[in-house]
Amino acid sequence: MLPDAAFAENTPTSQAHQARIKDIASIEGIRDNQLVGYGIVVGLNGTGDSQQTSFPIQTLAATLLRMGVSVPASSIRVQNLAAVFISATLPPFARPGTKLDITASSAGDARSLEGGLLLMTPLYGPDGKIYAQAQGPLVLGGYSVSANGNVKQVNHPTTGRVPGGAMVERGVPLDLTGRSDFSLLLNDADFRSAEAMAQAVNKELGRNAAHAVDSRRITLAVKGNEEIPALLGRVEAIEVPFYPRAKVVVNERTGTVVIGGTVVLQAVSILHGGLTVNIVSDFEVSQPSAFGSGTTQVVQQTKIEAKDKPVNRIELKQGATVDDLVRSLQQIGATARDVISILQAMKSAGALEAEIEVL
């Protein structure tokens, strides 16, 4: 059977889809900023970093020293703490006091962060300045239990989140007043979509305010007496015709195949078979005769079996849809790896009018 995938009804590539500008484009300069930090999680039930991981102990010793407790790092023996890296996203227009969600991931060999408390950790931006402080109890979506060499693990217990666990200390200033123009950037570059967006904005505003510069960028002029937040909110809510690119996304690691609804198929015949080779090794003991001078030896016996599977045939006529292709592949029992190979061969043969993206 095929892996779980999303398939849409096949439509001509020239047909447009209605979408809001805020869903397919962004405003240049108004964006998120990535933050990162390093800290320690305490309160673990013996599932923290081992003594072979030295940097958590050094961090603990430095933390205790700042609190007036001087303890040599070499004398610390604990397993209830883990070193973690913290990641967060600073949204645009965030001001001091704004709370952020954070993600903590183990940097050492800790087995689980379940029940841990993240101590106060500064979060840095790309410029090296502190923009937020993080602290709080971790929430995990899994667990790991071990006893007598047996381990049971559910999901990923070495990564956790702290909802609202960081507080912004420094915002990124962005002043919109006095701006005479803005740039709208399409998420997927397309000349036709850019021109359609400019025309829709001009029709909504009743003036020639938008102009397509290239396949991704549309400039938006601002009048001298216009309220910029109201203008941008009005523009983002406009529904415009959007022409998505035909694409097939393949993830060979997980066996996931996603075929977009705008993919067009041409008439093609597909012959698919397979060759299976099994190599089996057996070990037998060879004993010498009762009065022989030989020694007992272990002899390896190797058997090789090759089986050629019969060829499966798929025929797609002119006007076939993605649903026809999927049903045909399911009927012949194609695996995920078979589907990936067939799609690549169809692309090479010119029967698949789409871009194949391999993740």
The ranges assigned to domains in the chain are: 17-30+175-242, 34-168, 247-274+310-358, 280-308
Residue type present at position 176: L
**Residue whose tokens read 């589907």:** 339
For residues 70 and 130, give the distance between their C-alpha atoms in angstroms, rounded to a whole number.
27
Question: Do residues 267 and 351 make contact, with C-beta atoms less than 8 angstroms apart?
Answer: yes
Sign of the CA dihedral 5, 9, 15, 20?
A: negative
Tell me which fold the domain 17-30+175-242 belongs to: Gyrase A; domain 2 (3.30.1360)
Q: What is the pLDDT along the chain (359 residues), one digit of tens a residue?
A: 444 443 333 444 446 678 899 999 999 988 899 999 999 999 998 888 888 888 888 888 888 888 888 878 777 778 889 999 999 999 999 999 999 999 999 998 888 898 899 999 999 999 999 999 999 999 987 766 666 667 676 777 889 999 999 999 998 888 888 888 999 999 988 899 999 999 999 999 999 999 999 999 999 999 888 889 999 999 999 999 888 778 888 887 777 788 776 777 777 777 766 555 555 656 676 777 666 666 777 666 666 666 666 667 777 777 677 777 777 777 777 777 777 788 888 888 888 888 888 77
Number of Cβ within 10 Å of residue 62's Cβ equals 11
Question: Do residues 37 and 124 make contact, with C-beta atoms less than 8 angstroms apart?
Answer: yes
Q: pTM for the whole thing?
A: 0.68
Two structure tokens written together for 313: 């045939």
For residues 325 and 162, give the distance between their C-alpha atoms in angstroms, rounded to a whole number.
44
